[in-house]
Structure 1
Amino acid sequence: MNALKTIDRNRLAVIGVGLAAVLFLAVNLAVNLSLRSAQVDLTERGLYTLSDGTRKVLTSLTEPITLRLYFTRALGESYPGHQAYANRVRELLERYVNISGGKIRLEVKNPEAFSEVEDEAVTFGLQGLPYDQSGDRGYFGLAGTNSVDGKAVIPYFTTEREPFLEYDLTKLVYSLATLDRPVVGMVARLPVEGGFMMGQRPVPAWAVISQIRELFDVRTMPAEFNAVPPEIGMLMLVHPKNLSDETLYAIDQFVMRGGRVLAFIDPNAETEAPSPQGPPGPSDIDRLLKSWGVTFIKDKVAADLQSARRVNVRHEGQITQVDYVAWNTLDRRNLDTTDAVVADIRDLNVGSAGILEPAEDATTTFRPLVTTSEDSEALDVAKLQGRIDIVALFRDFKASGKKLTMAARVTGPVKSAFPDGPPLIGEGEDAEKARLERAKTHLAESQKPLNAVVVADTDVLHEGLWAEIRNVNGEQLLVPYAGNSDFVINAVENLSGGDVLLGLRSRGDSKRPFLMVEKIQLEAERKFRAEQEKLAKELQETQKRIEGLTNREGANGEAILTAEEKTAIAEFRRKMIDIRHDLRNVQHALRKDIDALDAWLKFLNIAAIPLILGFAALIIAVARRLSRARARPVTE
């Protein structure tokens, strides 16, 4: 104790600071090592919180997977937004590596121009985009391989797909981990798979069906069947009609066992031709739809004025262009972009699509994926049959003021459409015995929640509505001009991807908008935009008057002007300067509130916090001084 008393207080202070620094570093190192994998996601939409489905995929990996992230650094230097997005992709992939327990190996590569790494990226099928004047291409994609030389790629990480980054990454890993392609059962009453038409030459399969076959194992179901094979995980119904009770019951029990359905139904299938099965008519699976909680309006077609396609028609002996309200080009305003099926779809062409509504007392959730605008009308199907008066449809159009649903996702628990058990097939005792035998395995309620996508249009499948065929170097090339095929493949992929992919939804964009700034901008534009346009018009007229007076020249090249014209020009020029000054004032007014907000934010970030800390330190110092003064003994 005596030794401590002899030590100078300043030296004790230095030793105390040193010990505190050592303790801080030791605690920081211990926490860093023990809690290295611990993270807290404080973003509004949980951008960095992985879903249970993703964790299930990563923890169940049995074979090693190698992921190669290709990102050209020069691309990030030219476009900082790409650099920020690349950092997020890399950080998310590093989390995948940690959660997989070493089953995933990540390689980050920089494909520079004319390098071996660039050749490697091109070999994998990655897309390069020019980023400078020399035409050098930058790459930002992902290539994955598994132990049996399977390959899956994301050619380019587009910002439009950022909300579905986790979905795309998990889907890629899942496809590499699942060696067998998903099996899709096809039930079609339209010639989507090609074949021979009556009295005609063979017709090829529809383009979108060919694309589906490249990605999935498609099994064509017979015209009638009594059971869906167990290896089929999803049924694709195309214009189902005239199905027997036996076939309807097979589909019903498939759904009760957890099977998923993608149904394309139509009140007016324009691609349907008369066939031995019967004349053209609406799809008919009302019994199944009712049990799923969906109402299909068979005698109406959804018409939309805002998205109507302009077509050439002959009217009163002349060719004229008219908006065909029953043919629509729908954009992102008509799509639920939070659903993976339509998240990256820019436009979608439909032809005389039907109307879907949620059924009363439904046990399922009815979620619209594709809708009209509020400038819509439910047209009678009869108006679109026979000779169609397109001009009259446009002239007599009456907006309903509500959105009509053309496609929807339906999820939730359902009950069988056959509450009394399997139907009786045939007659006699043998038929009854067969029915009783099937009743032993009858499911009255779904074992898993229903997950179905119902689209009230079959013409959306045919390439005549969304692509054109071009002759390129002697070959027929299909060139899409709408996103119909992407929409269909997304739906098949989403429904056949298993539960782990079905649960992945949009996580939101990492770029956070300045909502207050956007609101101020909108209010300012409403207030000042009309005045700005008026001044700009006056300025343009004044400039034209000056040019009109000064463009007249004499023989020596000088302008011939009277004294009155010179005075008018001077007046016009003075007025032009005044208008320019007023325009600057208006433009300044547009930014006045934003600049004020910017000044306040700078003050809070730069000066406010130091001032608050300084004021707090001053209060503490004064309080300590007062405390010491009270503790000091009073000497007389």
Structure 2
Amino acid sequence: MRSALRTGMTLSVILLLFLAFNLVWVVKLPDLRWDFSQQKNNSLSPAVMQLLATLDSPLDFYYFNASKPALKSNTLKQYGKRVEAKLKAFEQTARGRINLHIIDPAPFSEDAYKAGLYGLDDQQGFLGLIGTRDGHAAQRIESFRPDREHLLEYEISHLISQLLHPTPPVIGLLSGLPAGELIEPLVQELRGHFDLIELEASAHPIPARIKTLMLVHPRMLSEQTLYAVDQFVLGGGKLLMFIDPLSDMDPEPPPTASRLDGLLVAWGIHMQSDKILLDRTYASSEHEPGLLTLPREAMNESDVSTWKLESVTVSNSGALLPLDNSRTTFTPLLQSSKQSALLEPGAPDSEIVPQGEHHVIAARIEGAAYSAFPDGIDGRPPGLQKAAQIHVVVVADTDVLSEEISSSAPHGNSLFVLNTLDNLAAPSVLADIRPRVMTRSLQTLANLRETTAHAYQTRANDLERRLAQTEKEWQRLNPEATALGTEVVDTNTQLQALNKERLRLPMELHALRMEAYAPLHRLERKVKWLVIAPMPALLCLLAAGLFRWQRRHRPIPATALY
């Protein structure tokens, strides 16, 4: 009896100590971490170390992390600790060239006033960074967000690069569109961020001081200008190019044959110039399946070009395809849903037959490439024939730059352009810093969710269409209410049948959803048990082991010897 009581008291004390440790002491312990990941995702990358090695003057970092506001969630607080650990890693690696100041601004304090003055975001409590360098303007990160954790290393490095290189980079703008067709607010934004040089459509060669070029609708440019672009890319220039099978900003039909197609082939990609992309899932309206509003799910979240983006709107875009046996790397940046298809302009919506695959609207092209003009041009000697590494981003839409299309995503389309140009024009040491690929341990579950949603939508489309038609017909036949607010009783047989159909179809849709999602829900329940159960089971095993150990080592009573 006494032994059982002692065992119970021991287990109770262990449990209380365990709870006290988790509730009180864990939050006070330093965030000790060992990086056992295969790709070293939790350590500073070699490119970051190379950037920090170039520091020739000290930088001051002021990290504002408000710990008291009630609006700040526990997830955000934990992320704030990880940001602090990352900043300390930067400070330690910089060997005295970065001075980190950690500030916990109390409400209405001088620190909070200073953070607001520098433009830090206080919607959920301050969680931002201000960087300063003697003799230069301060730079800031308004807020760190957990959903951008894979870009954390790049965000901090980008701020360091802005402090080291305050002079805006030179960007060339070459457009084949009629004058004035480019969205003026976008051009003004480009002027605010870069040293923008607008080139004539007949420009050749590209001026030597331009290292990054934005090329719009090159199908209408001359062969000499396309040759200049070819040589610019092979010579190490960075290119952002917008092409389009059907541009709303240019009513003139493109030429049937163009050296632009050869240029794309030389870079390892292809776009069908006679077909546009229609998408039922991302269509902005049922009557305009070519006007697509691309959400975060349609973007490559691991690429800097989609940094801080929420949506991008495109119109009658094309689709990019990588060529077989190409030497270049094809990385999708924007893509359609699986409920999309390529059709000729003017084809009826009923011809949309999804093939169950994504279509790429924008892509990053990198790697070895050859010239599209191996014999030169106009009888002149051939120029550069190949390059070991090209840097090109191709967008299969020019209307993304128009004012009419951009107005539906005022901060999306222009931000995509600014992000991409900023990354292309960045110093090589910053451009080499890639977003971290966060491990997705539940990839099977994510794939099953997508497959289930696609299977359900395929079967539900017909029912939803019938329900919409029934509702429309019922609204047409149903008599209007009287002045007293009571409806006239109508015993019309057709109206009664429509009423039954209006009740039956939603029930069928609900039953179909339950049937389609049943395997997914079963798997989710199993995963929850696998995630939750191990810790209680481990504690029970430890308690049982301790109990058996105590019984085995319990002293034998003296009376048992006789």
The TM-score bracket by the shorter chain reads 0.7 to 0.9
403, 406, 420: which one pairs with 1:466? 406
Q: How does 1:136-535 map to 2 (within 5 A)?
A: 138-190=125-177, 194=180, 206-273=184-251, 285-310=260-285, 322-381=286-345, 383=346, 393-420=348-375, 422-424=376-378, 435-436=380-381, 442-446=383-387, 448-467=388-407, 480=409, 483-508=412-437
Q: Is the radius of gyration larger for structure 1 or structure 2? A: 1
Residue identity in the other structure for 1:308: A
SS at match of 2:306: coil
Cα distance change, pair 612–148 in 1 and its aligned pair in 2 (3 A):
farther
Alpha-carbon contact 1:364-1:411 (below 8 Å) kept: yes
User: Deviation digits for residues 552-581 of structure 1, max 9, x if unmatched?
Assistant: xxxxxxxxxxxxxxxxxxxxxxxxxxxxxx
Alpha-carbon contact 1:233-1:260 (below 8 Å) kept: yes
Partners of 1:244 and 1:592 lie apart in 2 by 61
Residue identity in the other structure for 2:333: L
Residue identity in the other structure for 1:231: R
Partners of 1:458 and 1:592 lie apart in 2 by 46
User: Deviation digits for residues 130-160 of structure 1, max 9, x if unmatched?
Assistant: x5xxxxxx21111112222222211111222
Segments of structure 1 that go 5 or more residues without pairing to the other structure are: 1-37, 132-137, 195-202, 311-321, 384-391, 426-434, 469-479, 523-588, 622-636
Residue identity in the other structure for 1:57: L
Partners of 2:222 and 2:71 lie apart in 1 by 63
Cα distance change, pair 482–324 in 1 and its aligned pair in 2 (3 A):
farther
Matched, 1:48 2:39: no
Query: Counterpart in 2 of 1:3?
Result: none
Cα distance change, pair 301–176 in 1 and its aligned pair in 2 (3 A):
same
Partners of 1:104 and 1:295 lie apart in 2 by 46
User: Deviation digits for residues 582-631 of structure 1, max 9, x if unmatched?
Assistant: xxxxxxx9998678657742344424357668989999x9xxxxxxxxxx
Partners of 2:161 and 2:236 lie apart in 1 by 20
TM-score (norm 1): 0.64
106, 109, 114: which one pairs with 1:120? 114
Cα distance change, pair 599–457 in 1 and its aligned pair in 2 (3 A):
closer
**Percent of matched pairs sharing the same residue:** 30
Partners of 2:263 and 2:442 lie apart in 1 by 47
Alpha-carbon contact 1:520-1:594 (below 8 Å) kept: no
Partners of 1:297 and 1:521 lie apart in 2 by 32
Query: Counterpart in 2 of 1:601?
Result: 534
User: Deviation digits for residues 329-351 of structure 1, max 9, x if unmatched?
Assistant: 12223222222212542222110
Cα distance change, pair 361–596 in 1 and its aligned pair in 2 (3 A):
closer
Partners of 1:158 and 1:186 lie apart in 2 by 33
79, 82, 99: which one pairs with 1:85? 79
Residue identity in the other structure for 1:370: L
How many Å apart are 1:374 and its aligned residue? Answer: 2.0
How many Å apart are 1:57 and its aligned residue? Answer: 0.9
Query: Counterpart in 2 of 1:544?
Result: none
Partners of 1:519 and 1:244 lie apart in 2 by 46
Cα distance change, pair 396–590 in 1 and its aligned pair in 2 (3 A):
closer
Cα distance change, pair 67–326 in 1 and its aligned pair in 2 (3 A):
same
How many Å apart are 1:495 and its aligned residue? Answer: 1.3
Partners of 2:95 and 2:437 lie apart in 1 by 27
Partners of 1:70 and 1:424 lie apart in 2 by 61
How many Å apart are 1:506 and its aligned residue? Answer: 3.0
Cα distance change, pair 507–76 in 1 and its aligned pair in 2 (3 A):
farther
Residue identity in the other structure for 1:467: S
Query: Counterpart in 1 of 2:22?
Result: none
Partners of 1:123 and 1:281 lie apart in 2 by 54
SS at match of 2:348: helix
User: Deviation digits for residues 375-432 of structure 1, max 9, x if unmatched?
Assistant: 2221113x2xxxxxxxx72233322333222111111111122223x3236xxxxxxx
Q: How many pairs does the alignment contain?
A: 455
Partners of 2:422 and 2:236 lie apart in 1 by 16
Cα distance change, pair 284–128 in 1 and its aligned pair in 2 (3 A):
farther
How many Å apart are 1:126 and its aligned residue? Answer: 1.1
Task: Please report the RMSD computed on the Cα atoms of aligned residues, expressed in angstroms.
Answer: 3.7
SS at match of 1:174: helix
How many Å apart are 1:115 and its aligned residue? Answer: 1.3
78, 95, 98: which one pairs with 1:101? 95
SS at match of 1:190: coil
How many Å apart are 1:492 and its aligned residue? Answer: 0.9
How many Å apart are 1:78 and its aligned residue? Answer: 4.4
Cα distance change, pair 514–303 in 1 and its aligned pair in 2 (3 A):
closer
Cα distance change, pair 481–393 in 1 and its aligned pair in 2 (3 A):
farther
Partners of 2:390 and 2:432 lie apart in 1 by 13
Residue identity in the other structure for 1:182: P
User: Deviation digits for residues 209-233 of structure 1, max 9, x if unmatched?
Assistant: 2212211111112222332233322
How many Å apart are 1:188 and its aligned residue? Answer: 0.8
How many Å apart are 1:294 and its aligned residue? Answer: 1.1
SS at match of 1:490: helix
Partners of 1:108 and 1:288 lie apart in 2 by 51
SS at match of 1:263: strand
Q: How does 1:567-578 map to 2 (within 5 A)?
A: none
Alpha-carbon contact 1:517-1:594 (below 8 Å) kept: no
Alpha-carbon contact 1:334-1:371 (below 8 Å) kept: yes
Cα distance change, pair 605–508 in 1 and its aligned pair in 2 (3 A):
farther
SS at match of 2:369: coil
How many Å apart are 1:254 and its aligned residue? Answer: 1.6
Alpha-carbon contact 1:349-1:482 (below 8 Å) kept: no
SS at match of 2:436: coil
Partners of 1:76 and 1:413 lie apart in 2 by 53
Query: Counterpart in 1 of 2:18?
Result: none
Residue identity in the other structure for 1:60: T
SS at match of 2:205: coil
Residue identity in the other structure for 1:424: D
Cα distance change, pair 455–118 in 1 and its aligned pair in 2 (3 A):
same
How many Å apart are 1:239 and its aligned residue? Answer: 0.6
Partners of 1:396 and 1:516 lie apart in 2 by 33
Q: How does 1:20-99 map to 2 (within 5 A)?
A: 40-43=34-37, 46-75=40-69, 78-99=72-93
Cα distance change, pair 103–598 in 1 and its aligned pair in 2 (3 A):
closer
Query: Counterpart in 2 of 1:5?
Result: none
Alpha-carbon contact 1:303-1:326 (below 8 Å) kept: yes
How many Å apart are 1:280 and its aligned residue? Answer: 5.9
Alpha-carbon contact 1:235-1:260 (below 8 Å) kept: yes
Cα distance change, pair 330–205 in 1 and its aligned pair in 2 (3 A):
closer
SS at match of 1:395: helix
How many Å apart are 1:170 and its aligned residue? Answer: 0.7
Query: Counterpart in 2 of 1:542?
Result: none
